[in-house]
């Protein structure tokens, strides 16, 4: 089910960074946003989901306002490890870490260029999350599905602050964001937790 994988879809979207016009990056080099924290809202088909977000390079931590239900219990914390292509769900009651593979079909980009991007037009200066941004219109054709987006990119940090689909009820945006160094242990397995393998499709919302 589409909703069963919303958690992974959200989490990858939050790692968005950008290569601003005129910047150069060596081929094959990963591009990530600077360390930051913030509060984020995602809307899918009329439902809104809230999370506190902590980002560090290729790692992400989400602390949900309402826990995610998994086949092994509820998890209020999700850790994305792109370096291992895994998502970890912290099952506090069981002292276990549910480990699932990242699903490429659910991934939003790691930079402002969206998957299957065909056209990008700069609309002009804008603002999102109380920060100066540039607003783009973007058209994509990904796996045969044509879709149009509005995308707000932070002028200073290159973080995608807001992304809205023009063709379906889907969006995410930061309500607050703070650029600051994040401790590495936020993104490590909690001490004493055992890892339990899981599938990428067993999540649902309470």
User: On the CB side of 160, how many CA atoms lie within 13 Å of its CA?
Assistant: 27
Lowest pLDDT segment from 2-16, 27-41, 100-114, 126-140: 2-16
- How far is the first Cα of the chain from the last one, in angstroms, to the nearest whole number? 15
Burial class for 171, CB neighbours closer than 10 Å (0-12, 13-18, 19+): middle
Query: Is residue 147 included in any domain, yes or no?
Result: no
Boundaries of domain holding 84: 3-110+171-197
| Residues across the chain | 206
Query: Is residue 155 included in any domain, yes or no?
Result: no
Q: What pLDDT shows up at residue 23?
A: 36
Query: Is residue 202 included in any domain, yes or no?
Result: no
The token pair that represents 176 in the structure block = 């607050």
- Average pLDDT, stretch 26-42? 72
Tally the domains of the chain.
1
Query: Is residue 126 included in any domain, yes or no?
Result: no
Query: Is residue 116 included in any domain, yes or no?
Result: no
Question: In Å, what is the CA distance from 136 to each residue of 15, 67, 125, 126?
Answer: 18, 33, 9, 10
Residue 45, domain CATH? 2.50.20
In this model, does residue 202 exceed pLDDT 50? no
Q: What pLDDT shows up at residue 205?
A: 42
Of residues 114 and 59, the one with the higher pLDDT is: 59
Query: Is residue 204 included in any domain, yes or no?
Result: no
Query: Is residue 43 included in any domain, yes or no?
Result: yes
In this model, does residue 101 exceed pLDDT 60? yes
Mean pLDDT over each residue of the chain, to the nearest integer: 81
The token pair that represents 122 in the structure block = 């700069």
Query: Is residue 120 included in any domain, yes or no?
Result: no
Q: CA-CA distance, 164 to 106, in Å (whole number)?
A: 16
């Amino acid at each position: 089910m589409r909703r069963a994988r919303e958690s992974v879809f959200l989490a990858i979207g939050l790692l968005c960074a950008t290569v601003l016009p005129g910047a150069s990056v060596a081929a094959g080099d990963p591009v990530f946003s600077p360390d930051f924290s913030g509060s984020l809202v995602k809307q899918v088909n009329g439902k809104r989901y809230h999370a506190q977000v902590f980002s560090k390079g290729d790692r992400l931590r989400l602390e949900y306002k309402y826990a995610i239900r998994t086949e092994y219990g509820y998890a209020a914390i999700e850790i994305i490890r792109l370096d291992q292509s895994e998502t970890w769900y912290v099952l506090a009651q069981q002292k276990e870490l549910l480990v699932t593979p990242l699903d490429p079909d659910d991934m939003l980009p790691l930079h402002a260029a969206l998957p299957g991007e065909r056209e990008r037009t700069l609309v002009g200066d804008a603002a999102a999350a109380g920060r100066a941004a540039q607003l783009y219109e973007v058209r994509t054709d990904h796996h045969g599905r044509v879709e149009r987006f509005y995308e707000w990119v932070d002028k200073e940090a290159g973080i995608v602050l807001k992304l809205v689909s023009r063709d379906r009820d889907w969006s995410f945006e930061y309500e607050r964001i703070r650029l600051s160094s994040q401790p590495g242990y936020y993104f490590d397995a909690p001490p004493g937790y055992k890892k339990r393998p899981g599938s990428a499709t067993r999540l649902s919302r309470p």
